[in-house]
A and B are shown apart, each in its own frame.
Chain A
Amino acid sequence: MQEVKSLIQEYVKVHGKARNNLLPLLQEIVQHENYLSEDALLEVAESLEIPSSEVYGTASFYTYLDTVPRGKYIIRLCRNISCMMQSQAEVLSTISLLLKIKVGETTTDRKFTLLQANCLGWCHKSPAMMINNEVFTELTPQKAVQIIKEYKEK
């Protein structure tokens, strides 16, 4: 927590308390912590002088500002119809089996979270997924296994 606290304080020192700093600050915390803890949200509220309910309301509005704990690597498999037409389901079940988690769950070692995402914008190279910010396209179950294995060793 001390780390998040100093991150927030440092941010406010540089950028100020203006409301338009809220999203960039929340993004930065997510980048470091993988999610926004209650403590972090309260600290942001206090530092930017915004009611904590509003900070939570804003954070929870956005898909990529998670308010529940996530793994170090967040796998987001695209679920748009173009991906579903190209055996997205097989890729999903393969990853799920490999990591022994269902969609929405995190591995016990806190390394991976498995999620589905709305259109990632790679329909011509479907199916696609993101792991944190990295994009992978034209997936097959084998290719997905390979990628996850590489992340396991990171």
Chain B
Amino acid sequence: MELQSQKRIELIFSDYTSSKYKTLERTLERTPDDIISELMDSGLKGRGNVGFPTGMKWKFARREVSDTKYVICNANESETGTFKDREILERVPRKVLSGMAVCGYCIGAKKGIIYLRHEYGYMKEHILKELGIFHEHVRQFNFDFTIELFMGSGSYVSGEESALIESMEGYRAEPCNKPPFPVSRGLYGCPTVVNNVETFATAQVIFRIGAEEFLKLGTAYSAGSKLFSISGDTRNPGIHELELGTTIEDVVNEFGDKNIKSVQVGGASGYCIPQRLFAETVIGFEGLTTGGSMIFFNNTRSMYKLLHEYLRFFAEESCGLCTPCRVGTQQLLLGIEAVKKGEKPVTYIEVLKKLALNMKTSAKCGLGQSVANPFISILENFKEEILY
């Protein structure tokens, strides 16, 4: 079975030398341009959700002329159903720190910051200890780069890079208009690379095994492998590293319980894939882009409950800055409740659909824009469950 070979991918969590920073030391002997071009050759795209080419991001930041630049590791992992960044930071933090250091070396930054979500505060001591060891090592390499830890205070939208920067500067985590992008004007107005935890760890994997090896995995559009957070009705909940380009069907066959009727891919901001689309839905940048959350639902589960919970989540986490998102999230929630109770006719759902699509085009940031993803995909595939 093809999947057997995919199952055995162990790049992120394997080869974790316990005390030495060997790959980092070797990588720092190369020129920044050489490193960036390898990263671009590898086809690595951001592992958060958006999927921006990582090498290009570093290249843009490198081109900026500024005395001060920053490297930020986005560890505000708040997408529902995702827990891979937590596992990476717990099990292989040195890969992340190395990835950040190489990024700093490439773009000319002397300072890195990890933005850790409040909910992961239990590992604060662990990370601070790792930072101590890291700093000792980079000093030995005669490389001027320090990393600080910044604790978040509980906000989903802080995962959006400009909101994250606002938060670090001491403000409400409200997303900013782009451009300018953080690579040209980020933290305190300085060029800043913001990458997800997994992106830094994967970059480190590429520096170790080389772009060529990495490209052997995945597809032409989606290079490499990625971590998936699998939960719900599954035989094997947890983190699994899979090749990109895998179909939902393969994943369900491998991990799902019996009678799986749908998979929610990408958490609250992702899509509901019903059983009839399992075979044709490919996970990767040519199909479904995802931060890695996959929740399985068997045929006893209520899709209304799922949609209701996601809408409640968005209504709570909307930063409130732009009207489409602030009002839209609340109205969608009230709307499906009213239809369910029979207070509104079933045709009202079409009005709500229009509202969701409007949010997709008019909301300011990814949060508001993505509410339509679960709303439309759950509604279209499980209409009876939502309406009656």
State whether the Cβ of A58 lies closer than 8 Å to any Cβ in chain B. yes
Q: Does A101 make an interface contact (CB < 8 A)?
A: no
B33 to chain A, nearest CB (A): 33
Q: Which of B151, B155, B297 contacts A61 (CB 8 A)?
A: B155
**Residues of chain B lying within 8 A (CB to CB) of residue A21:** 170
> B263-295 toward A: CB 8 Å interface, digit per residue (1/0)?
010010000000000000000000000000101
Q: A61-B155, A62-B155, A64-B153 are in contact. Are A123 and B309 (CB under 8 A)?
A: no
Closest to A20 in B: B170
Q: Which of A1-9, A77-85, A106-114 interfaces with chain B?
A: A77-85
Nearest chain A CB to B317's CB is how many angstroms away? 7
B121-A123 in contact (CB<8A):
no
- The size class of the interface chain B forms with chain A is 35 or more
Q: Which residues of A contact B310 (CB under 8 A)?
A: 81
Closest-CB distance, A87 to chain B (whole angstroms): 13
Query: A1-31 CB contact bits vs B (8 Å, 1 = yes)?
Result: 0000000000000000011111110110000
**Are B79 and A61 in touch, CB under 8 angstroms?**
no
The smallest C-beta distance from A105 to any residue of chain B, in angstroms, reads 19
Fill in one digit per residue for A42-63: 1 if any B CB lies within 8 Å of its CB, else 0. 0000000000000001100111
Contact A64 B154 (CB under 8 A): yes
Contact (Cβ within 8 A) B170 A121 = no
Of the listed stretches A90-98, A129-137, A145-153, name the one at the interface; the rest are far from the partner chain: A129-137
**Interface assignment of B156: CB less than 8 Å from any CB of chain A:** yes
Known contacts A81-B306, A85-B232, A118 near B78 by CB under 8 Å: yes
Contact A123 B154 (CB under 8 A): no
Pairs of residues from A and B, 8 with the lowest C-beta to C-beta distance, nearest first:
A63-B154, A123-B231, A62-B153, A124-B237, A64-B154, A22-B170, A19-B170, A121-B83
20 contacts between A and B (CB under 8 A): A19-B170, A21-B170, A22-B170, A24-B150, A58-B171, A62-B153, A62-B154, A63-B155, A64-B154, A82-B80, A85-B233, A118-B80, A119-B80, A119-B82, A120-B119, A121-B86, A123-B82, A124-B83, A125-B237, A134-B122
